[in-house]
Structure 1
Amino acid sequence: MIDQALYQRALAVADQPVEERDLINAALRAFIARQAQFRLAGMGEPLPISPMFLAVARTNQRELTAACPTA
């Protein structure tokens, strides 16, 4: 079950109307990316970021921005 207060807050900060599906997909992508960052940071040694990772991150960021533009 989705927390309706949190969902309404997300809709309130969106600059344009966002469909529930798009908002949830963007949130899941952001969560997955954030968890990957934490895992990499927890490895202790800096690792080079692959071009494929950067390409996926940029694509996800564009989709997130399109689905939920910030103020």
Structure 2
Amino acid sequence: MHCRIHIQGHLASGWQDRFLGLRIEQQEAGTTLLVGTLPDQAALYGVLLQLIRMDLVLLLLETSEEAAQRS
């Protein structure tokens, strides 16, 4: 499953291991984009749980099975 998760604020790239390999991309708008492929919905829930534990604000979550099949 291909995921794009926008969160409020800038997140340092050193946190990447907590997000199952999703790339951390800082955006000009003062947000962070986590993007990449996760194996299943359980992995997505794990990433969302990390966001909660880190007290981060979720702005947008997009998933697509189609993009994961093309990569």
TM-score of the superposed pair, with normalisation by structure 2: 0.27
Q: Higher relative contact order at CA 8 Å, sep ≥6: structure 1 or structure 2?
A: 1
The structure whose Rg is larger is 1
Which structure has greater strand proportion? 2
Q: Which has the higher helix share?
A: 1
